[in-house]
């Protein structure tokens, strides 16, 4: 856990929405009594340390033209997991790919989030991934309703 006060404020800034102004770090810098350069340097350090995973815009997929999205869960042999994971990671249409610990009641351990511009392209994409990965057993699990989507607040 990070207990440094300045660091916590900076993490808070990163999790929020950067103001659209010429000096977006100015308000926080003044509040903390440090320079804008120091804030930028600290954000760079967080990025280097891997705590800041991504820096930039978080888009709404649907408005970006990707209206057909699905979570696809694949059956994969444990010894093929890395190979399959790397193949799937290579698809630009896949944004997230994880191997998960799953219970016996749900034997699909490789999860990939897929994005396409329409239903037909989504179906074709899933077929292409199945072919290239050699994983023929999968579930296409679509979201029917979004109850909650928020960014985690760590501080």
Partner 1 sequence: MFNVRGWDATDRQLLDMLQNDFPLAVQPFLEMAERLGIEESEVLARLAAMKQAGLIRRLGGIIDSRKFGFYSTLCAVQVPAAKIEAVAEIISQLPGVTHNYLRDHDYNIWFTLTSPTQAEARAILMELENQLDLDIISMPAQKVYKIKVAFDLGNLDD
Interface positions, 11-30, toward partner 1 (CB under 8 A): 11, 13-18, 20-25
Residue of 5, 77, 106, 119 that binds partner 1 (CB under 8 A): 106
Residue of 6, 34, 99, 123 that binds partner 1 (CB under 8 A): 99
**8: Cβ–Cβ under 8 A, 6 or more apart, which residues?**
2, 155
Q: What is the distance between the alpha carbons of residues 18 and 39, in angstroms, rounded to a whole number?
A: 13
Residue found under tokens 């501080």: 155
Interacting positions 59-98 with partner 1 (CB under 8 A): 59-66, 71, 81-82, 85-86, 88-89, 92, 94-98
Nearer to partner 1, 3 or 136 (CB): 3
52 closest CA partner among 92, 7, 94: 7
């Amino acid at each position: 856990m990070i207990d440094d006060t300045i660091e916590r404020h900076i993490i808070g800034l990163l999790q929020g929405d950067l103001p659209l102004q010429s000096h977006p770090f100015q308000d926080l810098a003044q509040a903390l009594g440090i320079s804008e350069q120091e804030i930028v340097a600290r954000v760079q350090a967080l990025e280097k340390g891997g705590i800041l995973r991504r820096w930039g815009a978080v888009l709404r997929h649907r408005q970006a033209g990707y209206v057909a999205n699905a979570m696809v869960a694949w059956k994969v042999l444990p010894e093929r997991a890395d190979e399959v994971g790397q193949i799937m990671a290579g698809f630009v249409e896949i944004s997230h790919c994880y191997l998960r610990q799953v219970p016996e009641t749900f034997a699909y351990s490789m999860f990939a989030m897929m994005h396409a511009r329409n239903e037909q392209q989504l179906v074709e994409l899933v077929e292409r991934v199945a072919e290239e990965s050699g994983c023929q057993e999968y579930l296409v699990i679509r979201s029917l309703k979004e109850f909650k989507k928020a960014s985690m607040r760590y501080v």
